[in-house]
Amino acid sequence: MEAAPKFFNFDHPTMPAEILEGLRSKSFSEWADDYEMMLYTLEQQVAAWEELYG
């Protein structure tokens, strides 16, 4: 399962760690049994954050 390590090791160079951790926690709680969707949701939320603050 390739998505799980990508999800748990996902990092962003400029996003504050507490925001990234919050997004990761929310993705995990919403998709607890689907790592592909966790990763997809996290990537989409990070992209949205970049548009607003990046």
pLDDT value at residue 28 = 96
What is the C-alpha to C-alpha distance for residues 20 and 12, in angstroms, rounded to an integer?
8
Q: How confident is the model at residue 1 (pLDDT cuts 50, 70, 90)?
A: low
Give pLDDT tens digits for 15-34.
999 999 999 999 999 999 99
Q: What is the pLDDT of residue 20?
A: 97
Average pLDDT, the chain: 95
What is the pLDDT confidence band of residue 9, given thresholds at 50, 70 and 90? very high
> Cα 17 from chain centroid?
11
pLDDT at residue 45 tops 90: yes
